[in-house]
Structures are given as C-alpha cells and as structure tokens.
Structure 1
Amino acid sequence: MKQLGLLIRLIVGIIAGTLIGLCGGWFGIADSTAFIAVVRLFATFTSLFSTFLSFMIPLIILSFITVGMAELGKKANRLFGITLLLAYGTTVISGFLTFLIGKAVLPAIIQPITGDVLESNAFQPFFTIDIQPIFGVMTALVLSFVLGIGMANLRGSSLLDVCRDLQRIVSGVLKRIIIPLIPVHIAGLFCNIAAEGRLFATIKMFASLYGIIIVLQLLYIFSQFGLASVVCRKNHFKSMKNVVPAYFTALGTQSSASTIPVALDCAYNNNVNEDVADFVVPLCATINLNGDTICLVLGSMGIMIASGLTPTLAMFAPFIMMLGVTMVAAPGVPGGGVMAALGLITSMLGFTDPMQQLIIALHFSQDSFGTATNVTGDQAIALIVDRIDRADSEKTAY
C-alpha cells in the first residue's frame, strides 16, 4: 500500500506544519528568533521546491504529451477513436458542468480571506535561487502537439524512442524526488499559513471544496451510467453493483493501473465482450481522468475566490478544453494529474506559487476518490463501446 502511505504522509505533513506554525501563538514565541528561523527554514524549502517544480513542468508536459499523442496516433482502430472521443468528451463536459455548479455554489460558501490570503510576506525564505524553465508552458504544449502528431505519422521510431527515454527520466524525477517531497512542501505551506494567522479560513475553504468535490464525483459516476443506459437502451444503474470492487480497489491503491485486473473482472461481470473490455479498460486507465478534472476545476475556482479573484467562463473555457488534452496524457503516477495540469493552471489562470501549493495539497488529499471516480467511469465507457461494437457486428452479419 505504498500509495496509501503517500496519503498518510501528506496528512502528517499538514498536521506537523500546522502545529509548528501554531506554536508561536500558543507559547508566546511568535516574535522569537528561534521560531522565526524555523518558519523561514520551511519557507526556504518551499521556495526552492517551487522553483524546481516550475523548471520541471514544461518537461513533464513535453515528455508525456508528446509520447502519449504519438502512441495514440498510431492506433487507427475505429473503437479506439470512439473510446478516445468518449473519454475526452466526458472530461470536457464534466469540466464545464463543474464550472457552472462552482459559479452557483462557491461564492456563497467561500469568502475572500483578508490579509493577502495566499501571498506569504511575513516569513521570507533565507535565500532564493532563480532557475528559468527551458521554455514556457504554452511552448511546451505546442511543441508536444507538433512532435506527437509528427511521430504518429513517421514510419521510424528513433525520435519516439528518444522521447520515451526522456519520459522515463521525467517520470523517475516525479516518483523519486517530487512526489516524495510533496508532504514536506505542504508542511511548509501550512506552517506559514498557521504562523501568519490564516489557518482557520484556509481549513474552512479546504473542507468546503473537499466535500463538494466528492459529491460531484459521485454524481458524475451516476451520470456516466445514465448515459450508458440511454445509449445501450438498458438500465445500467443495476450494473453499478458489479463495479463496486473496482471503486474500492482504486480507493485503496490510488492507482488506475493497479486496479486494471479488478476492473477487467468487473467489466466481464457486466457482460462486456472480453475483447472489448481487454481493450477499453486498460486504455481508459490512462486517458479517462474525469475525477481529476472535477477536482482541478472546482479547486482552482475555490482558491481563486479565496484570493479575491473572480473565475469567469472566458477564463475557464480554454482552460477546460486544454485540460481535457492534458488529462489524456497525464503521468500514470499518484498525483500525476495535478503535476501535468499545473502548467496550465499557472499560465492560463495566473496562479501564484502559494496558490499552486494549495491546489497540489487539495488534489493529493482527495486523489484516492478521484482515481476511484476515473476507474468507475471507465466501466460505463466500456458498456457504451461494447454496445457500439455489437451494433456494428450485427450490421456486418447482414
């Protein structure tokens, strides 16, 4: 249960950072040199980590999206195109519906936090290092599309092999450096928040967002099976009982890939053709990340409102469209969705470093539920693709 251990470490980091930050007020040492030094030490780590993360973001986008698009483009199977369209379409639709619900609900429950909410000024780092990314986020995206589509139409694979090696390197950095250090990074964030007296408002915002995200993810699952019922002209809400094992397995492993064996068995139990299930379930484990989309859209809106900004459709429409593409090629590691999307969140929504830290913390804390949502949604897509495949087979027979 290595991934579950990551979630536990994240929770421990939040608690530890909060307690350290509150010590200043509890023991009357907020102005002491030792306390200020400890908080500034956390601020220094957070600053260095954010700088390194900003450097890695374009490389994450380039390596994963390039390889993802090249490999997807080489698959000309009609069912593949249908599955890809369903995954992208439902991701974009879930993003827009989440935005509309967020606009209706969030302003009433999340208020702007006074006192320069998400900017940390009281405890500055001891030093900073300026590391410029190799290129900007949008440059990385465009270059990824050009290279990915180009390699999909090349007969040779030498350039694709190079990009795969780059992907392995970046994935290794994610798994061995960035992901393990996230709990320390988040501890530094909450230490600063608590030391500056912004803890209660921040926790209240987190709790509100967390609850709404879980509810929306569950509603999404029901809507997916509702869509399957309409397309298949059969009540597939009854089929939901057969996917419960996949949901709880994903909840525990926090990994769509690790859940594939259980998910396949669930699809078989729902009478999905084995050939279709063997194709759709592993594919959707990579390209269907609706749970992440719901979290990232609503979480971004909540953090913007808390920081005194107003989320608009003009701002979020292109973000959601691009997020759908990014989610298709998101790294297959716990938290990979937010890491792949962080560049878009920064460049298109204007998130500052403290705001980025909050969306990372929010995403990681609910990633188990997001993964479970993704895996369960895969089952509904499998039912739809199976219905289309059966219909084509019947036409061919005649």
Structure 2
Amino acid sequence: MKLSKIPLLGRVVIAIVSGIILGQFVPVWFARIFATFNDLFGNFLSFIIPLIILGLVAPAIGELGKGAGRLLLITTVIAYMSTLFSGFFTFFSCQAVFPNIITGAIDTGSVQGIDEGAVKTFFSIGMPPIMDVMSALILSFCIGIGLSLIKGDTLQKAFSDFRDIVTMIIRTVIIPLLPIYIFGMFLSISITGQVYSVIMLFLKVISVIFVLHILLLVIQYVVAGAISRRHPLKALKTMLPAYMTALGTASSAATIPVTLQCALNNKINPSIASFVIPLCATIHLAGSAMKIVGFSLAIMYFFGIPVDPGTFIGFIFMVGITMIAAPGVPGGAIMAAIGIIQSMLGFNEQMIGLMITVYIAVDSFGTACNVTGDGAIALIMDKWAGTSRT
C-alpha cells in the first residue's frame, strides 16, 4: 500500500511508533536531520499562521453577514453557544480531574532543545511572519465585518479565493508533512528519555476526553429534547449512523448526506434539516473545541505552566470564533486554532507539536461528536421554526 493511501491517523501512528523505536538506537546525526526538518517546519508554521487566520476568519464572518436572515442568525448563535458550553464544560471538568492524574512534569529543557542532551539542528532558517497573531485576528474581524456591511462583493470573492489558497496549503503541504514532523519530535523525545511520560499523558488525557464527549452529546440531546419535546435518547440513537460514519471519514462535510438522513429520520422538517445540517457541518465544532481546550489544559499541566482561569476564559471564547472559520479537512480545526494557542497560552513549537499529535490521534471522535450534535441543533431549530410559523 502506498503511504499516501494510508489515512492520516494511520500515518501519525506509524510516525509515533517509528520515532519511539528508532530513537532507542539510531545515531545522533540521523536524529539531527529530522530535528533540522522540524525546526524549518516549525518556522514555516509560525510564518503561515497569521495568513491562515486572515484567510479563514475574514471571509467566514463576511459570508455569515450576508446569509439567510433570522434563521441563519439564530442557528449561528445556537452553534456558537453550544461550542462555548463545550469549552467551559471541558475546562471545569478537566480542572477537577487533571491534577489527580497528571502528577509528573516533563523536562522542558530537553524537549525545547536547550540542554546538553537535546538533539541539535544542523542549521536554521528564520521565517518571520508578516504580522503577529493578534494583529491578524483584529484585521480579520475588521475586514469580515466590513465585508458583511458593504454592498459590493469583489473583495469578498478575493478573500474567498485567498481562503481556497490557505485551505490548499493546509491540505497539500501542512497536513501531509505533519507525520514527518511528529516522527522527528518523538525521535528526539525517545533519545532524551522522555517518551514514557509523553505516552502516559496521551493515554490518560484521551480517556478523559472520550468520556466527556459522550457526556456532552447526552447533555445536548437532553436540552434539545426538552425544547422540542422529543425523547432525547431516542433522538440520539437515531443519529448513531452519522456518528459511525464520521468515525470513518473524520470529515463533517463528507458526513453531511448521512447526517441529513438521520435528521429526517428524527422527523425534522426537510427544509429546516436541509438548511441547518450543512451549515452546522461548517460552523458547529463543539467536539473539536472540547479536544482543543482539554488537550491545551493537559499540556499546560504536563509542562508545569500555571493555569490562569481568566486567560483560559478568553481563550475559550476565541476558540468558539475560530471553530466557525475552521476548514473542513482532517486536522483543519487544530490548524486554525494554533494561532490563539500560541498567542494566548504561550505554547512553543514543541508543545504545539504534541498538541497536534494528540489531537489528530482522536480526530475522528471529535468529528463524530460535531456531526451528532448538529442533529440536536436541528431539533431545536425545527421547534423554533414551527413555533414562529404559528
């Protein structure tokens, strides 16, 4: 089988296992090759992140402002509130659990490459970004709001084309190179003797997030059932085909036909389902927000970084906005969120690498949570539309 035919998760698993095994016996010069690649790739990420933010957020805000009136506005608000709830639910739950299960901290010096035992690079090429992350966010909001208010659409089309370029870079350059980046990172971690701590972190955190995403779906359908006066567990059971399909595709967009059919099986008005399901596949990423918040918090505990609740509250609000603009490709949500993770939480390149790795390892479960939650929003909107018509 060609490597390109293997799913992204499979390539990531191969990269992790290979890095751990080879790190036990390869010479240092071999590891330095991949340390150099990681340094170049990390610098490229720093350069491209402001452009990713500008290319995704600005046109997304502009398009939302030119949508289908009240139905679009209310659906978007509900999707954003669901994502915020997911973020805060994850934050407070993990704050209660993580201090008890993440008891040891990694040696940050060896991972960051600043002590004598760390793997050094052969050379480094600076790639300074054209603007910092916060400037990109502010500029994106200004342009996006402006696009939603002006009558012409020339600039909107230009930014839509720019978004296509950014999405293409993510899909054809960043995502394919991520397994090599992850391999190099685990090769270095294995050589410096930190691999056991990292693997244990992965297993503990993934277990917690899996339980939380099941609880989140139950809460979403209990609320939707109470509003729509439907049996929540029956409605959730009807959405299981969409959940299972998303586990295989790891793409909300690719799962839309199945999600739509499940919504129709829940006796949702076809016109409402046909509008809400495709829209929420783009803007409702509660499961992805849960992973980003939970994994960020875990890595902060793991590296011994103090957690400031005030900063994290602002971070969760920004994650909700970023999820609306995330591209519909595997790993797209984490790529869109890297900027605010760096700027607001202060993550370095190695911490971002670990973040991306653990995120992609359970990417399909987050997608399954996203699309299943779309059915809950469709139930609420069906009830609202029926009430507004009467």
**Which TM-score bucket, shorter chain as reference?**
over 0.9
Indicate how the Cα distance of structure 1 residues 244 and 114 shifts in structure 2: closer, same or farther if over 3 A, else same.
closer
TM-score by length of structure 2 reads: 0.96
- Which residue does 2:81 correspond to in 1? 89
Q: CA deviation at 1:72?
A: 0.7
- The 2-side partners of 1:175 and 1:235 are apart by 40
- Tell me how far 1:76 sits from its aligned partner: 4.4
**Preserved contact between residue 94 and residue 293 of structure 1 (Cα < 8 Å):** yes
Q: Secondary structure at the match of 1:129?
A: coil
Separation in 1, partners of 2:71, 2:6: 34
Structure 1 residues without counterparts, runs of 5 or longer: 25-34
2:276 is aligned to 280
Matched to 1:46, the amino acid is: N
Q: Distance in 2 between matches of 1:197 and 1:207?
A: 18
Aligned to 1:10: 12
Q: Does 1:164 align with 2:160?
A: yes
Task: Find the counterpart in structure 2 of residue 180 from structure 1.
Answer: 176
For 1:306, the equivalent position in structure 2 comes to: 302
Q: Distance in 1 between matches of 2:51 and 2:60?
A: 14
User: What's the counterpart of residue 356 of structure 1?
Assistant: 352
The CA distance in 2 between the partners of 1:174 and 1:116, in whole Å, is 28
Query: How many angstroms does 1:22 deviate by?
Result: 1.8
Residue 58 of structure 1: aligned partner = 50
Matched, 1:154 2:150: yes
Residue number in structure 1 paired with 2:198:
202
Q: Is the 8 A contact 2:106 2:197 kept in 1?
A: no
**Offset of 1:162 from its aligned partner?**
1.2
- The separation in 2 between residues aligned to 1:237 and 1:305, in whole angstroms, is 35
Superposition pairs for residues 339-350 of structure 1, below 5 Å?
339-350=335-346
Residue 82 of structure 2 aligns with an amino acid whose one-letter code is: T
Aligned equivalents of 1:369 and 1:231: distance in 2? Answer: 26
Q: Distance in 2 between matches of 1:191 and 1:113?
A: 19
What is the rounded CA distance, in whole Å, between the counterparts of 1:3 and 1:116 in structure 2? 35
Question: How far is 1:316 from its partner?
Answer: 0.3
Equivalent position of 2:119 in the other structure: 123
Equivalent of 1:99 in 91, 109, 125? 91
Q: Aligned to 2:23, which of 7, 21, 24?
A: 21
1:261 corresponds in structure 2 to 257
Of 23, 33, 37 in structure 1, the residue corresponding to residue 29 of structure 2 is: 37
Provide Cα deviations, 1:45-102, integer angstroms capped at 9, x if missing partner.
Answer: 1111011011111111101111101111101421111110111001111111111111
Q: Could you tell me how far apart the structure 1 residues matched to 2:238 and 2:137 are?
A: 39
**2:128 is matched with which residue?**
132
Give the whole-Å Cα distance in 1 for the aligned partners of 2:104 and 2:132. Answer: 30
Contact between 1:83 and 1:280, CA under 8 Å: does it hold in 2?
Answer: yes
CA contact (8 A) 1:120 1:354 kept: no
CA shift for structure 1 position 242: 1.2
* Mean CA deviation greater in 12-21 or 346-355: 12-21
Residue 231 of structure 1, CA deviation: 1.0
C-alpha separation between the residues in 1 aligned to 2:239 and 2:331?
Answer: 23
Say which SS state the counterpart of residue 49 (structure 2) adopts.
helix
**Contact 1:295–1:363 (CA under 8 A) maintained in structure 2:** yes
User: Any idea what SS the aligned residue of 2:105 has?
Assistant: coil
Distance in 1 (CA, whole Å) between partners of 2:5 and 2:252 is 12
Give the letter aligned to residue 44 of structure 2. F
Contact 1:263–1:375 (Cα < 8 Å) also in 2: yes
CA distance in 2, matches of 1:140, 1:369: 30
User: Match for 1:328: what amino acid?
Assistant: I
Tell me, yes or no, if the aligned pair for 2:90 and 2:290 is still in contact at 8 Å.
yes
1:233 Cα offset (Å)? 2.6
5+ long unaligned stretches in structure 2: none
Give the alignment's Cα RMSD to 1 decimal: 1.2
Corresponding residue pairs, total = 383
Contact between 2:20 and 2:186, CA under 8 Å: does it hold in 1?
A: yes
* Aligned residue number for residue 69 of structure 1: 61
In structure 2, how many angstroms separate the alpha carbons of the residues matched to 1:92 and 1:115?
Answer: 33
8 Å Cα contact 2:49-2:339 kept in structure 1: yes
Residues 133-189 of structure 1: per-residue CA shift (max 9 Å, x gap) = 111111111111111111111111111111111111111111111000001110111
| Cα distance change, pair 305–183 in 1 and its aligned pair in 2 (3 A) | same
Deviation at residue 114 of structure 1 after TM alignment: 4.4
Q: Is the 8 A contact 1:3 1:334 kept in 2?
A: no
What is the alpha-carbon distance in structure 2 between the residues aligned to residue 300 and residue 242 of structure 1? 33
Task: Give the drift of 1:23.
Answer: 2.0
Distance of 1:114 and 1:355 partners within structure 2: 11
- Tell me how far 1:237 sits from its aligned partner: 1.5
Structure 1-normalised TM-score? Answer: 0.94
Which residue, out of 378, 381, 385, partners 2:377? Answer: 381
3-state secondary structure, aligned to 1:22: coil
For residues 367 and 4 of structure 1, the distance between their equivalents in structure 2, rounded to whole angstroms, comes to 15
Contact 1:39–1:123 (CA<8 Å) still a contact in 2? yes
Deviation at 1:234, TM superposition (A): 2.8
Do 2:91 and 2:293's aligned partners in 1 also have CA atoms closer than 8 Å? Answer: yes
Q: Distance in 2 between the 1:119 and 1:213 partners?
A: 26
| In structure 1, C-alpha distance between the alignment counterparts of 2:25 and 2:327, rounded to whole Å | 38
Aligned to 2:101: 109
Q: Give the match's secondary structure for 2:25.
A: helix
Q: Distance in 1 between matches of 2:292 and 2:5?
A: 20
